[in-house]
Structure 1
Amino acid sequence: MLFSNTFNVESADKVQLWPNGVIPYVIHQDLWQEEDLILASMRHIEDQTCIKFKPRENEKDYIGIIKGSGCYSYVGKLNRGGPQPVSIGEGCEFAGSIIHELIHVTGFHHEHSRIDRDKYVKILWNNLSPDTTKQFAKVDPKKYPQFYKFDYESVMLYGSTAFSKDGRSPTMIPIRGGRKRLQEVYHKKGMSPTDAKRIRKLYRCNDSYMKKK
């Protein structure tokens, strides 16, 4: 199984949101076998938030969902024009993995990138594959939203063996709640209630908007 990579826009003062929560998309033809799962993952997010994914018409900014090398996405909207890549590569064909990448698109980093994560998880740096430590870097809460308490159930939280140098050794372990392991993203069926709540807060979703969906 492959794990998610994220990319930041270094010059941005803070995460850029999609106007009115509308995210135009194009799904590359190479993903014809995964298209139904991708669309179902979009609906999963739409059903619990005011985010709306729509097939691109002539929008300048949109996400291009491709079958690249692994799973990756930028965080938020780039505002550069042209397709913003979201890769659903080999090994990423799971609902949890796809939803994870789409939530990056809405503007969220990993749960274990929170500034307070050391109160909840321990990173085992010596067990990480070379050059993957950046995936566990903390992010500035002034630039990226970190609403509500740390959520062990979040689809944005890596599992216990993510980026393990041998595929078996733990790279991150929980230190609260009596948990022994963290569930891998690809085993998760979808967003946690807190994931959905965070998106609704970031995009200022309201009940009247939800009723129109």
Structure 2
Amino acid sequence: MCEDLVWSSLLLLLLLRLSPASAASTAPPSRESVNQQQLVHYPAGVDFFDHEFSSVTADEFDPFGPDIGDDDLGIDDPETMPRLFQGDIAIDPYTYITLRLGVNPMRHPKRLWPNATIPFEISPRYDNRERNLIVSALKTFNSLTCIRFTPYDGEVEDYLLIEPPEDGPQGCWSYVGKRGGEQVVALQRPDETSAHCFSSEGRIMHELMHAIGIYHEQSRADRDNFVKIHWDNIVPRFKKNFKLVSRKRGKYAFDYDYNSVMHYGEYYFSKKKGEKPTMTPLQPGVRIGQRKTISKIDCLKINDLYGCLKGRRAKMYRSFCHLLGL
């Protein structure tokens, strides 16, 4: 109860700060407040909001706007193609506000799935091979973590709908944590140009981990201790995707994970893929951006987020992660 009041107060405070009326009473509207009046909404349940960095304008990031141009070559990966927050993260109003406040939205229990149970429905538009790959990814989470993906029975309000994108952004994308109601996880089907989100099970697991409640590994506040960002190699309009979600430094429960299925690859949003890396590890000999399956630390993070590394189950789930994760 007390925690809900704190969060309600924080959200109200930010809304008042962003209110055009309050801005008008003190000074001419800032670029930030103008941007708030130009929010871009995707169809099909996707809300995109220009996020917390004031250098970004809403129109330059509109996927339904003009063509991006011949120099914007950094979006050929299915996770960068949607052009959402950090490439593949759909932002709802709640997450948008909490990110602007510098608060981790996953600290609020309402963003977690109750009892670590996630009802899901798979679109009939997938063929048997695609459906089997999705089911295999779901079973991996059910085996290694305390998360339980269960078929949607039509009785609960909140569930995941795993479907190919239609009107919204193409590629692979998801919300982070439980949004409420029918919640889309978009996985573009293979076609003659690419396997898209079905090139590996890890692609699917990446988006499902977002839905579970996990952000990208390289958005950690301490990431500059582990990777070097090559800003000059990034397509200019996508530099914002390399900003840190939070600059608040603290003690992390787990080591930085180069092997995470949630880590960007070396050439994400690159001006010239294969030649100009946008991010390189500071530790020699390691690679980033694997999409085979979840890592040991990915597995541990999920179990930790849902309180399963405490009590009698802790030893069991730690063993599962260490024995079977990458």
Name the TM tier (shorter chain).
0.7 to 0.9
Secondary structure at the aligned position of 2:241 is classed as helix
Q: Which protein shows a greater Rg?
A: 2
What is the 5 A alignment of 1:62-73?
62-68=159-165, 69-73=170-174
Give the structure 2 partner of residue 190 of structure 1: 293
Unaligned stretches of 5+ in structure 1?
Answer: none
Code of the aligned partner of 2:183: Q
Greater relative contact order (CA < 8 Å, ≥ 6 in sequence): 1
Give the structure 1 partner of residue 48 of structure 2: none
Quote the offset at 1:126 in angstroms: 2.4
Change (3 A) 1:56 1:130: farther
**CA distance in 2: counterparts of 1:183 and 1:6, whole angstroms:** 19
Quote the offset at 1:50 in angstroms: 0.4
Tell whether 2:167 aligns with 1:60.
no
Change (3 A) 1:132 1:26: farther
Change (3 A) 1:135 1:34: farther
Tell whether 2:96 aligns with 1:10.
yes
TM-superposition CA deviations, 1:166-203 (whole Å, max 9, x none) = 32221110012x13x63433xx3211111111111110
Give the structure 2 partner of residue 47 of structure 1: 143
What is the 5 A alignment of 1:90-101?
90=190, 91-93=196-198, 94-101=200-207
Say which structure is richer in strand: 1
Say which structure is richer in helix: 2
Secondary structure at the aligned position of 1:92 is classed as helix
**Would you identify which runs of 4 or more consecutive aligned residues in structure 1 move more than 6 Å?**
none
Unaligned stretches of 5+ in structure 2?
Answer: 1-76, 81-87, 191-195, 318-326
Moved more, 108-117 or 128-137: 128-137
TM-superposition CA deviations, 1:119-163 (whole Å, max 9, x none) = 001112222234333432212387xxx641101111111111122
Tell whether 2:111 aligns with 1:20.
no
- The sequence identity of aligned pairs, in percent, is 37
Contact 2:260 2:294 in 1 (8 A): yes
The number of aligned residues is 203
TM-superposition CA deviations, 1:75-109 (whole Å, max 9, x none) = 11112x2x211111141112111111111111110
Quote the offset at 1:62 in angstroms: 1.1
Contact 1:65 1:87 in 2 (8 A): yes
Contact 2:262 2:289 in 1 (8 A): no
Counterpart pick for 2:125 among 7, 30, 34 = 30
Counterpart pick for 2:208 among 90, 97, 102 = 102
Code of the aligned partner of 1:87: A
Contact 1:30 1:67 in 2 (8 A): yes
Secondary structure at the aligned position of 1:84 is classed as strand
**CA distance in 1: counterparts of 2:237 and 2:299, whole angstroms:** 31
Counterpart pick for 1:78 among 179, 184, 187 = 179
Contact 1:6 1:135 in 2 (8 A): no
**CA distance in 2: counterparts of 1:52 and 1:199, whole angstroms:** 12
Code of the aligned partner of 2:300: K
Quote the offset at 1:208 in angstroms: 4.3
Q: What TM-score do you get using the length of structure 2 for normalisation? A: 0.57
Tell whether 2:308 aligns with 1:205.
yes
Give the structure 2 partner of residue 132 of structure 1: 238
Q: What TM-score do you get using the length of structure 1 for normalisation? A: 0.85
Change (3 A) 1:76 1:147: farther
